[in-house]
Amino acid sequence: MVYGTAAREFYQNELVGIRNDGLFKEERYIVTPQGADIEVEFPEGAPVKKVINMCANNYLGLSSHPDVVKAAHDGLKAKGYGMSSVRFICGTQDAHRELERKLTAFLGTEDTLLFASCMDANAAVFEVTLGPEDVVIADRLVHASVIDGIKLCDAQYDSYKHMDMKHLEKKLQQFADKRFRMVATDGVFSMDGDIAPLDEICELADKYDAMVLVDDSHASGFMGKTGRGTHEHCGVVGRVDVITTTMGKALGGASGGCISGRAELVELCRQRARPYLFSNTVAPVVVTASLKVMDIISETTERRDKLEQNTLYFREQMTAAGFDIRPGVHPIVPIMLYNAQLAQDVARDLYEEGIYVIGFFFPVVPKGQARIRVQLSAAHEKEHIDKAIAAFKKIGEKYGILGLGKKEIIDKYGM
């Protein structure tokens, strides 16, 4: 038997280690479609509980939107369930190319290539476009999939302090002798809701002859006046060379991602990207539903406007209530608690109050930076948000943290 005692014991010990470190992740079973109101079975076997979902990437509330669901049904009938092929053999339907064209127009780029996920897009783009003569310089807090993508390529790698333009400039100067320099950043950073200063990054890129890559997964569909993304928010549409993004968040939330950018670079990915060449095509039903999403968000900014209002309202009310929240304008709202145990306790108590949020702590965020990450959605009505704020206030009072800043919370609960 290959799977012998030694292997079994090794894996068991690893799992024990994960539990002992407090890092064991447990799934919560949601028995309803995704939305503002969901029903959850947690822990396994417990009675189903109705809660308000405040931690989904469902920024535009399109995950279960009736028009999107209908487009998926229609697509299923018209295009079938699966393609049983990679794109370049017999896995490309007209709808795939139509979606790529619509994404290109929406993002203001030159061409687009679909992937099964943005994780795949990030796994592809660096390996195809950079070689040992090149360097990629990434913000230190970029998403794990960007780091993994960089690891797969032969280029020199370096990083700059989070959103520190002086440090980035120093690095660009340091690597002036490289053939190509590529700056890689998230448009919006998933743990903090920080918005990358793409205007300054593009200025530096121009000055030091560098390309710019932005993972805009937490921005596509709603950042900027017409929701194009962080590049629109920062006024640099057309100046970002590569955007990678996902349809798994605001844009319907099912799955799928893309590389969108300079035409030659995208075409080269179509020819050489391994996750494109050796992974199945995006399912037709996801493509037809995504086409409907593109129509919805291209016709009106109503949903991103509502998301913006919800975000402003929640941030104002939570600040007034005395919570220590990271300032900003993004629907990711980190409620800072600093202490890992406190973050878990507050999240658990909020769940009892009918509010579904998660505590984040090291190693997902730096040590001493534990928090609850709230994510607003256009699916939230004012009543949802008011209920969430009332629950936060009740639990905040219980733990005596209202009105306390970082130092006071750490003095009370430790790091």
Partner 1 sequence: MADELKDKIREYVVDEYVEEGEDIEVKDDTPLISGGLVDSFSMVSLKLFLETEYSIKIPDERATAEAFDTVNAIAALVREYADA
Active-site amino acid positions: 190, 218, 249
State which residue, 140 or 179, has the beta carbon closest to partner 1. Answer: 140
Q: Which amino acid is at 376?
A: L
As a whole number of angstroms, the distance between CA 84 and CA 137 comes to 38
As a whole number of angstroms, the distance between CA 355 and CA 346 comes to 11
Q: Does 339 bind partner 1 (CB under 8 A)?
A: no
Q: Does 161 bind partner 1 (CB under 8 A)?
A: yes
**Residue 3: other Cβ atoms inside 10 A:** 8
As a whole number of angstroms, the distance between CA 415 and CA 410 comes to 6
- Tell me if 338 sits within 8 A of 296, measured CB to CB: no
State which residue, 102 or 161, has the beta carbon closest to partner 1. Answer: 161
> Strand, coil or helix: what is 130?
coil
Distance (Å) of CA 233 to CA 21, 115, 145, 195, 198: 39, 25, 23, 9, 9
State which residue, 70 or 367, has the beta carbon closest to partner 1. Answer: 367
Q: Residue 48 half-sphere exposure, CB side, CA atoms within 13 Å?
A: 9
Going by C-alpha positions, the residue among 48, 147, 56, 3 that lies closest to residue 358 is 56
Q: Does 327 bind partner 1 (CB under 8 A)?
A: no
Residues 267-296 that bind partner 1 (CB under 8 A): none
Closest approach of Cβ 80 to partner 1, in Å?
A: 42
- Of residues 55, 69, 76, 147, which one binds partner 1 by CB under 8 A? 147
Q: Does 162 bind partner 1 (CB under 8 A)?
A: yes
Among all chains, which residue has been given the structure tokens 């639990």?
A: 395
The H or E element that residue 396 is part of is helix 382-398
Closest approach of Cβ 138 to partner 1, in Å?
A: 9
State which residue, 68 or 137, has the beta carbon closest to partner 1. Answer: 137
Q: Does 158 bind partner 1 (CB under 8 A)?
A: yes
Q: Does 28 bind partner 1 (CB under 8 A)?
A: no
Closest approach of Cβ 328 to partner 1, in Å?
A: 17
Q: Does 399 bind partner 1 (CB under 8 A)?
A: no
Enter the DSSP assignment of 283: P
State which residue, 362 or 399, has the beta carbon closest to partner 1. Answer: 362
Binding mask 101-120 for partner 1 (x = CB under 8 A): --------------------
Q: Does 140 bind partner 1 (CB under 8 A)?
A: yes
Q: Does 164 bind partner 1 (CB under 8 A)?
A: yes
Q: Alpha carbon 107 to chain centroid distance?
A: 17
Stretch that binds partner 1, among 82-90, 157-165, 202-210, 344-352 (CB under 8 A): 157-165
As a whole number of angstroms, the distance between CA 334 and CA 194 comes to 10
Closest approach of Cβ 370 to partner 1, in Å?
A: 12
Residues 359-378 that bind partner 1 (CB under 8 A): 362-363, 366-367
> Strand, coil or helix: what is 118?
helix
- Of residues 57, 112, 145, 159, which one binds partner 1 by CB under 8 A? 159
Closest approach of Cβ 48 to partner 1, in Å?
A: 38
State which residue, 101 or 166, has the beta carbon closest to partner 1. Answer: 166
Cite the DSSP H helix spans in 164-301. Answer: 165-174, 198-207, 230-233, 263-272, 274-277, 284-299
Going by C-alpha positions, the residue among 120, 112, 153 that lies closest to residue 279 is 120
Residues that bind partner 1 in the complex, under the rule CB under 8 A: 140, 147, 151, 157-159, 161-162, 164, 362-363, 366-367
